Structure 1
Amino acid sequence: MSTSSIWHGQVPPSVLTEMSRGSLIETLGIEVTGIMPDSLHGRMPVDARTTQPAGVLHGGASVAFAETLTSVAGFLAVDRNRFHVVGLEINANHVRPVSDGWVHGEARALSLGRSIQVWEVRITDEDGRLVCISRCTLAVLATPSRY
């Protein structure tokens, strides 16, 4: 088993949380919960901030969660003194409703190119059942990170 990592340097989850203060990420209650050698993990509450009027997780909240995880992952995967990542495209398939608790997300790189990154995010409920599957494409810009 390889111990190599896709990340450029180390940034603890607590620093990522602090960077999110005053943003949509904080408003939705999104948290980074783990940085593994080849994936980023997070969670988001299913509550009044993230549900639709029918009482289940809003698809837009799932997309915001997925894009947050991929943006953070992209940020961690580049030399932040030289590069900044921005979202280009995101899609999502919502496969199961959730009405309470937490959803958990795992972002994994499908491709880490010099100018484009492609990530997949699997969002699951507390029982590990698939809620949403998303793919996000990020552009890697040759400018220092703004985060």
Structure 2
Amino acid sequence: MSNKEKILQQCNRWCENTLMETLDIQFIDAGDGFLKASMPVNSRVHQPMGLLHGGASAALAESVGSAASMMYADPETEEVRGIELSLNHVKAKREGMIFGTAQILHKGRTVHLWEIKIVDEQDNLVSHCKLTNIVLPKKP
């Protein structure tokens, strides 16, 4: 099994019994400095006007960015926490799929800064996000 396959398998395993599983977030691609996930847009993630809820986009962004930080952490001894998330929603979406790709901007020993672009099937930008994570020692 390739390193990419191991990363995707681990990220998808972390989703079991979580919000990510509820929203059907799937990790689909990984590489040097990036991680990508998909999420279907349907009534489960709509706001009352029938559009993608900004909170669902935020959940996708934080999920993919936090999992991406775990690519640089030791899951046996370290945990990742999101400490700041900022999003700009630029395009409405009613149905289909969206894809969030986290790209590392800064990788320090304890602080990671990620840019997450959420796009639709035609690669149109839906949301632009910035996530700051902190890497902490795992508590026993």
TM-score higher than 0.5 here? yes
State the shift of 1:110 in Å: 0.7
The answer on whether the counterparts of 2:100 and 2:116 sit within 8 Å (CA) in structure 1 is: yes
In structure 1, the residue matched to 2:69 is: 74
**1:26-65 superposed matches below 5 A:** 26-65=21-60
Gaps of 5+ in 2: none
2:17 pairs with one of 22, 34, 46 = 22
Is 1:11–1:76's contact at 8 Å kept on the other side of the alignment? Answer: no
Residue among 101, 115, 118 paired with 2:113 = 118
| Percent identity between the two aligned chains | 34
1:89 is aligned with what amino acid? E
Alpha-carbon distance in structure 2 between the residues aligned to 1:116 and 1:16: 20
Does 2:83 correspond to 1:85? no
Task: Give yes or no for contact 1:118–1:135 (8 Å, CA) kept in 2.
Answer: yes
Q: Using the alignment, how far apart are the partners of 1:142 and 1:17 within structure 2?
A: 23
Instruction: Please report the TM-score for the alignment, with normalisation by the length of structure 1.
Output: 0.87
With 123-132 and 78-87 compared, the bigger mean Cα shift is at: 78-87
In the alignment, the residues of structure 1 paired with residue 27 and residue 45 of structure 2 have an alpha-carbon distance, to the nearest angstrom, of 17
Alignment TM-score, normalising by the size of structure 2:
0.91
Return the alpha-carbon distance in structure 1 between the equivalents of residues 44 and 57 of structure 2. Answer: 12
1:98 and 2:93 aligned: yes
Higher relative strand content: 2
Aligned partner letter, 1:125:
D
CA RMSD of aligned residues (A): 1.9
Deviation of residue 33 (structure 1)?
0.4
Gaps of 5+ in 1: 1-6
CA shift for structure 1 position 93: 0.2
Tell me which protein shows more helix as a share of its residues.
2
Structure 1 segments, 4+ long, off by >4 Å, are none
